[in-house]
Amino acid sequence: MQLELSWPVDLPVNKLRPWLRDQLAIHGHPLRWAITAIEPVGDHRRQLKIEAVLLNVQE
């Protein structure tokens, strides 16, 4: 699946991985995933594009 997430402004990069896993876990168990793009969206905000393969994807 492919999804876009807004990187919380107060989330440091060294907390990014567990946060992303929690976001992916909403949809299923992440088997393989990566941030494939980061786009600035103004006001120091960044939009993350994630591509992932999940187990037991919940529609």
Collapsed DSSP state (helix, strand, coil) of residue 42: coil
Burial class for 20, CB neighbours closer than 10 Å (0-12, 13-18, 19+): buried
Q: What are phi and psi of 54, to 5 degrees?
A: -120, 150
Identify which of residues 25 and 53 has a Cβ nearer to another protein in the complex: 53
38 lines the binding site for another protein (CB under 8 A): yes
Residue among 32, 43, 58, 59 that touches another protein (CB under 8 A): 32
Instruction: By CB under 8 A, tell whether 41 contacts another protein.
Output: no
Enumerate binding residues for another protein (CB under 8 A): 2, 13-18, 20, 29, 31-38, 46, 49, 51, 53, 55
